[in-house]
């Protein structure tokens, strides 16, 4: 398990706990699915399925026909054995009638089976498709503070495995379960009619089978929950490593990652084997109980014939009915397993659907024009309610059109400050306002439409150059897209690309250089024509050529817009009207470059340290 590359240095050891975030707390609280919660999930599914009730009602009728149809065969035995074989006249006409009758009933019931399974499958799939869309929509609208609690793989697992569990349950197990149940009820009713005394056997054995099945169902349900968590771990691990492939290679951590994946894989193997093993234990146990029941019934039915209470035809009819009744008992175990796995999947899907989404206050204000004056008043903020405070009692006023540079050591809280402006997070106390309107009362769409963000790492989506620029404003014309690219100094390289603006950028823009990606990211912001522009170390990771081009683009872009710019280079910082020196979540100094230098404080020392020599 331990990868020792150079001796036994502890940093070469894979540490499976600790470094990597575990499942969010929420998930582990839900170990197993206890009874009241299972009922909630079922009730919720029933509510969700409401639009499909008319179809399901028709399916129900078809299901009853499909379930009762096969029982017709059992009625054939007394008719044929007692009425045709047993009758010295051997009326062949009756035999033909029975054959035709059983055939007709089975034809109808098989058509009904098709109708029933098609309608339920359709409704189930429609419901799952609608849940899938809502899952996606929820994920998109989740506040960052909630989003941060989940690993991406957790979402992926819910979209894939958990919905697949629901598919199996809703489209396969549930319809068959219903038909089988009808067959069972029909068979029992017919048995009571033929010989109620003999039928009592079923009432002795059925509760035993029921108890065994219920016991296993609970166990399977718990194990399924655990195995779904393990597969979520596995897919988290996978998405993370695939995104960081270059880092894995660069640090030579292939075997480390192999070990880590293998551990995840083993954990899933163990958890899933437990689920399978429980199912495999249940089947033979139920089968043994059923066999005992069958043998007992056989013995006692012989006694009934000898006593003259049953004919041979009725005995065969009864045995057939027993088989029709027992067969469902056997299959119920599998259906119930599938259905409870489906409920686990549903509960995990609902978990995401229940995360609160970003929403506007009912009396939210939607100004027609945004000027861009920002005001922070005594803002305090922590990423987690019980976590360390990141911003402490921070106040500042930024005029519309003012260019403000945020400087300060790494971890000071600069990114956090700009994160609060688009309301990615909400301050725990204090308030932020735009043009005098508290952000909490401002229509979120209007607020974000007024903002463009250029982060340090340009995030492009797979698609063409033009599509990525147009992400800033979806209705922009080709001419506007090209104008934005020119403004951002991106045109020179775009025109050299094989297909120009129609060149695909590759997954996450990987076919372009960092500087090229960043210029597209700036063109996207230009196209948005924002009132508030946020540049978070937008040029920090670039080569000096790209940086010069971007700086020149900024000269055209900044004037007239409220700009929050986080940067280290003097050339960028000097462009600002005001510099805020941030440390420890507070603004320690504020003023122009010259003012702060002459004050001889923290900014002056930073400046001296950076530009000494």
Ligand X SMILES: Nc1ncnc2c1ncn2[C@@H]1O[C@H](COP(=O)(O)OP(=O)(O)O)[C@@H](O)[C@H]1O
Retrieve residue 369's tokens.
């024009």
- In the region spanning residues 343 to 402, those forming contacts with ligand X, defined by CB under 6 A, are 383, 390
Site string for ligand X, 128-167 (x = CB under 6 A): --------------------x-------------------
Applying CB under 6 A, which part among 11-19, 217-225, 238-246, 411-419 lies near ligand X?
A: 411-419
The Cα 455–Cα 566 span in angstroms is 10
Applying CB under 6 A, which part among 33-41, 52-60, 163-171, 412-420 lies near ligand X?
A: 412-420
- Residue (338 or 537) nearer to Mg ion, CB: 537
- Residue (314 or 416) nearer to Mg ion, CB: 416
390 binds, among ligand X, Mg ion, none (CB under 5 to 8 A by kind): ligand X
- Residue (209 or 407) nearer to Mg ion, CB: 407
CA torsion sign for 447, 453, 459, 460 is positive
Binding of residue 319 to ligand X (CB under 6 A): no
CA torsion sign for 570, 575, 579, 583 is negative
Which listed residue (410, 474, 479, 496) binds ligand X by CB under 6 A?
410
410 binds, among ligand X, Mg ion, none (CB under 5 to 8 A by kind): ligand X
The Cα 118–Cα 107 span in angstroms is 17
Least distance in Å: CB of 536 to ligand X?
A: 7
Residues 6+ apart with CB under 8 A from 183: 67, 68, 70, 71, 324, 325, 327, 328
Least distance in Å: CB of 143 to ligand X?
A: 12
CA proximity to 584, closest of 439, 437, 422, 381: 381
Maximum alpha-carbon separation in the chain: 125
Q: Enumerate binding residues for Mg ion (CB under 5 A).
A: 415
Q: Name the residue whose CB lies closest to Mg ion.
A: 415
- Residue (125 or 415) nearer to ligand X, CB: 415
- Residue (396 or 415) nearer to Mg ion, CB: 415
Per-state percent for the chain, helix, strand, coil, to nearest 5: 65, 10, 25
- Residue (164 or 606) nearer to ligand X, CB: 606
412 binds, among ligand X, Mg ion, none (CB under 5 to 8 A by kind): ligand X
Applying CB under 6 A, which part among 90-98, 310-318, 404-412, 599-607 lies near ligand X?
A: 404-412
In 10 A of CB 16, how many CB atoms? 13
Q: Which helix (H) or strand (E) holds 579?
A: strand 578-583
Least distance in Å: CB of 428 to ligand X?
A: 13
In 10 A of CB 91, how many CB atoms? 11
- Residue (106 or 415) nearer to ligand X, CB: 415
The Cα 275–Cα 435 span in angstroms is 59
In 10 A of CB 117, how many CB atoms? 21
Which listed residue (110, 125, 265, 415) binds ligand X by CB under 6 A?
415
Which listed residue (414, 473, 517, 528) binds ligand X by CB under 6 A?
414
In 10 A of CB 171, how many CB atoms? 20
Least distance in Å: CB of 221 to Mg ion?
A: 45
**What is the DSSP secondary-structure string of 431-493?**
EEEETTEETTTB-HHHHHHTEEEE-SS----SSBHHHHHHTT-TT--HHHHHHHHHHTT-HHH
Which listed residue (67, 124, 153, 413) binds ligand X by CB under 6 A?
413
Task: Name the site residues for ligand X (rule: CB under 6 A).
Answer: 148, 383, 390, 410-416
């Amino acid at each position: 398990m331990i990868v020792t590359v150079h001796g036994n240095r502890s940093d070469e050891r894979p540490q499976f706990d600790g470094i990597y975030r575990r499942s969010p707390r929420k998930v582990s609280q839900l170990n197993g699915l206890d009874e009241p919660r299972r009922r909630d999930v079922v009730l919720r599914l029933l509510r969700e399925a409401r639009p499909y009730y008319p179809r399901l009602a028709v399916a129900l009728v078809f299901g009853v026909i499909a379930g009762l149809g096969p029982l017709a065969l059992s009625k054939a035995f007394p008719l044929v054995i007692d009425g045709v074989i047993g009758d010295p006249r051997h009326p062949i006409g009756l035999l033909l009638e029975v054959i035709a009758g059983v055939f007709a009933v089975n034809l109808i019931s098989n058509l009904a089976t098709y109708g029933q399974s098609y309608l339920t499958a359709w409704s189930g799939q429609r419901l799952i498709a609608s849940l899938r869309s809502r899952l996606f929509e929820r994920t998109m609208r989740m506040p960052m503070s909630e989003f941060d609690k989940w690993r991406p793989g957790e979402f992926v697992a819910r979209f894939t495995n958990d919905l697949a569990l629901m598919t199996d349950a809703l489209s396969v197990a549930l319809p068959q379960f219903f038909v089988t149940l009808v067959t069972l009820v029909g068979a029992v009713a017919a048995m009571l009619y033929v010989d109620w005394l003999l039928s009592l056997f079923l009432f002795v054995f059925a509760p035993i089978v029921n108890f065994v099945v219920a016991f296993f169902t609970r166990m399977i349900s718990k194990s399924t929950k655990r195995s779904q968590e393990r597969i979520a771990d596995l897919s988290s691990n996978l998405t993370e490593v695939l995104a960081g492939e270059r880092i894995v290679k660069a640090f030579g951590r292939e075997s480390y990652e192999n070990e880590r994946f293998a551990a995840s894989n083993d954990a899933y193997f163990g958890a899933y084997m437990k689920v399978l093993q429980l199912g495999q234990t249940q089947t033979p146990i139920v089968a043994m109980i059923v066999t005992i029941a069958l043998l007992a019934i056989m013995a006692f039915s012989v006694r009934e014939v000898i006593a003259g209470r049953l004919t041979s035809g009725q005995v065969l009819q009864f045995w057939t009915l027993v088989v029709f009744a027992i067969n469902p008992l056997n299959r119920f175990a599998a259906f119930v397993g599938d259905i409870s796995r489906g409920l686990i999947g549903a509960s995990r899907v609902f978990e995401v659907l229940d995360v609160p989404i970003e929403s506007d206050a009912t009396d939210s204000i939607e100004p027609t024009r945004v000027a861009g004056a920002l005001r922070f008043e005594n803002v305090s903020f922590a990423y987690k309610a019980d976590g360390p405070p990141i911003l402490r009692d921070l106040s500042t006023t930024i005029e519309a059109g003012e260019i403000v540079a945020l400087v300060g050591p790494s971890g000071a809280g600069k990114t956090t400050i700009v994160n609060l402006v688009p309301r990615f997070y909400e301050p725990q106390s204090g308030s932020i306002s735009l043009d005098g309107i508290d952000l909490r009362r401002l229509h979120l769409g209007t607020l974000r439409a007024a903002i463009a963000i250029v982060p340090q790492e340009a995030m492009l989506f797979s698609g063409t150059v033009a599509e990525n620029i147009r992400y800033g404003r979806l209705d922009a014309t080709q001419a506007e897209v090209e104008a934005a690219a020119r403004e951002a100094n991106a045109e020179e390289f775009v025109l050299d690309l094989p297909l120009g603006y129609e060149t695909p950028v590759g997954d996450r823009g990987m076919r372009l250089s960092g500087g090229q990606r960043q210029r597209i990211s700036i063109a996207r912001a230009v196209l948005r024509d924002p009132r508030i522009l946020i540049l978070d170390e937008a040029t920090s990771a670039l080569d000096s050529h790209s940086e010069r081009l971007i700086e020149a683009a900024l000269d055209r872009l900044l004037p007239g817009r409220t700009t929050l710019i986080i940067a280290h280079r003097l050339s960028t910082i000097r462009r600002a009207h005001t510099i805020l020196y941030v440390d420890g979540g507070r603004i320690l100094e504020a003023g122009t470059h010259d003012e702060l230098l002459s004050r001889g404080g923290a900014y002056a020392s930073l400046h001296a340290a950076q530009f000494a020599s």
